[in-house]
Chains A and B, each alone.
Chain A
Amino acid sequence: RKEVEQDPGPFNVPEGATVAFNCTYSNSASQSFFWYRQDCRKEPKLLMSVYSSGNEDGRFTAQLNRASQYISLLIRDSKLSDSATYLCVVNTASRLTFGEGTQLTVNP
């Protein structure tokens, strides 16, 4: 089983749509969780951390379910500029493990 597994994608959605990405992790000892964004031919950048209580940053909402070892990212009212690959990242004993990423294309 992969340490971090994401929806394979790709996702193609129209502008204004709501889209959700899912991620599962295998190690119950994992301590912290993140979503990174990587634009085409660019470097990954932190989008948001994921907290147990759930957290929101504008149109983006991240959720964590420790019991199910599951993380999600919800994007509301998607914009063309949201087109990118979204990487689920899990920190276990100070070691970050990246998922393969889920590609999102937002169409006009």
Chain B
Amino acid sequence: ETGVTQTPRHLVMGMTNKKSLKCEQHLGHNAMYWYKQSAKKPLELMFVYNFKEQTENNSVPSRFSPECPNSSHLFLHLHTLQPEDSALYLCASSQDAAKTGELFFGEGSRLTVL
């Protein structure tokens, strides 16, 4: 069983839909992250949460809204997305965002926006 689980694994949505991606980590880590991975592009950091507090928003459009109710759970709420938002969304965790070392990734949620 992976230490970081993401659901759903695949999601197809229209531009007017509202959906959410969920991430749960079972590693006792204090930092959680959302990354976006598009074809032929490097991983892009979107958000960082450390001890449930958002510490970084990498100029992400407001149609992406993160939520971190506790150190083990992270959500990404999606609303009125664009086709160019289609990508693999990866959740990751680490012991502490201030001591960034090894990131543990989930398997990702592959999003297609029609």
Contact = CB atoms under 8 A, between A and B. Distances in A.
Interface in A55-108: 87, 91, 94-101
A45 B105 contact: yes
Interface string B7-31: 0000000000000000000000000
Contacts of A32: 100-101
Contacts of A4: 42
A99 B40 CA distance: 11
Contact of A43 (B42, B97, B98, B106): B106
B97 A94 contact: yes
A20 interface: no
Which secondary structure characterizes the binding site on chain B? loop
A87 B43 CA distance: 10
Nearest to A99: B42
Contacts of A101: 42
A45 to B, nearest CB: 7
B67 interface: no
Contacts of A95: 45, 56, 100
B43 A44 contact: yes
9 contacts: A4-B42, A43-B107, A43-B108, A87-B42, A87-B43, A95-B56, A96-B45, A100-B42, A101-B42
Closest 7 CB pairs of A and B: A43-B105, A98-B43, A98-B42, A94-B100, A100-B42, A46-B102, A43-B107
